[in-house]
Amino acid sequence: METKQKLLVAKIGGNIIEDKNALDSFLKDFSKVEGPRILIHGGGKSATKLASRLGVRTEMIDGRRITSAENLEIVVMTYAGLLNKTIVAGLQKNNCNALGLTGADANLIVADKRPAQFVDYGYVGDVTSVNSKTLKGFLELGITPVFCAVTHDTNGQLFNTNADTIASEIASAMGAYYDVSLFYCFELKGVLENIEDKDSVIEYINLEKYSELRDAEAISDGMLPKLKNCFDALQKDVSKVHIANADFIKDNTIKHTTLSL
Ligand SMILES: Nc1ncnc2c1ncn2[C@@H]1O[C@H](COP(=O)(O)OP(=O)(O)O)[C@@H](O)[C@H]1O
Ligand SMILES: CC(=O)N[C@@H](CCC(=O)OP(=O)(O)O)C(=O)O
């Protein structure tokens, strides 16, 4: 059987992006990773802060932002503008040839407006396709794609899409060509049994444990979409999925959470 080349798909969240030292350190370590790699970043915290400065209300339900037309302007400015370009410049500083992207660029990620069933999320998109062939072309040129949490519908409409979902969808699509590892990097050590105890890391979570954690209401907020996205990726074409501290990028032996079906 033909062995596929390894590909790292890493995602960093808002708490890392907001902490200059943590971000600098992550970007330095990420730049040292050998072989093809893709970075996805969130930045929900920064968008919430800008909204508050502009007097615009923020509402999150189950870890996802209710995105009005005004919120969409804020998230596009924040994610596709300041944050994406700051991260790209930080990678360039470390000799990593990064290319900052939204899903609209090169038609890379297409989404449909999330249907308003129980909750109307507004301008939130659910991913329908990832242009994996074009992404592979970038990787083969030695370019490191850096995605923010913005997608489009091919009809001129931009959408806000959870960054964890973008990471999961990209990892799954790239599984057709590569042996993909997906790392969700954040400020904690992993998924915690007890959110009050930062050392109570659950080292392995399978579907059964996931169901137990949900029943016990041990997971909430952004961890809800994150875990769903981990299992979605494993059910598609992704070999390994980890939730870990941002330091995991340089030291794969630190305590963290590994997901399996
Ligand atoms: N059991 C849990 N273990 C770890 N984090 C949890 C748990 N339940 C809820 N959370 C929350 O989920 C957050 C991570 O989700 P999110 O904010 O979306 O992450 P990111 O920084 O990657 O965007 C944590 O900061 C924490 O507040
Ligand atoms: C639809 C939706 O919720 N989109 C997210 C996108 C940013 C994100 O995911 O940021 P973190 O990774 O820092 O949480 C939001 O606007 O908060």
pLDDT computed for residue 150 by the predictor? 98
For residue 24, the enclosing domain spans 6-259
Q: Could you tell me if residue 124 is inside a domain? A: yes
- Among the bound ligands, the one closest to the CA of 200: 1
Q: Could you tell me if residue 218 is inside a domain? A: yes
- Among the bound ligands, the one closest to the CA of 186: 1
Of the candidates 159, 127, 160, 163, the one whose C-alpha atom is nearest the C-alpha of residue 146 is 163
Looking at the 3D structure of the chain, how many domains does it have?
Answer: 1
Q: What is the CATH number of the domain that holds 196?
A: 3.40.1160.10
Residues 254, 175, 220: CA angle, nearest 5 degrees:
50
Ligand 1 proximity of 14 Cβ (cutoff 6 Å): yes
42 has pLDDT over 80: yes
Note the ipTM here: 0.98
Q: Could you tell me if residue 241 is inside a domain? A: yes
What single string gives the DSSP state of each residue in 106-119? GG-EEEEEPP-SSS
Ligand 1 proximity of 63 Cβ (cutoff 6 Å): yes
1 has pLDDT over 70: no
Indicate the pTM of the whole model: 0.97
Ligand 1 proximity of 222 Cβ (cutoff 6 Å): yes
pLDDT computed for residue 237 by the predictor? 86
Tokens encoding 218: 């041990």
Burial of 3 (0-12, 13-18, 19+ CB in 10 A): exposed
Q: Could you tell me if residue 1 is inside a domain? A: no
pLDDT category of residue 62 using cuts at 50, 70 and 90: confident
Q: Could you tell me if residue 154 is inside a domain? A: yes
Q: What distance in angstroms lies between residue 44's CA and the mean position of ligand 2's atoms?
A: 4
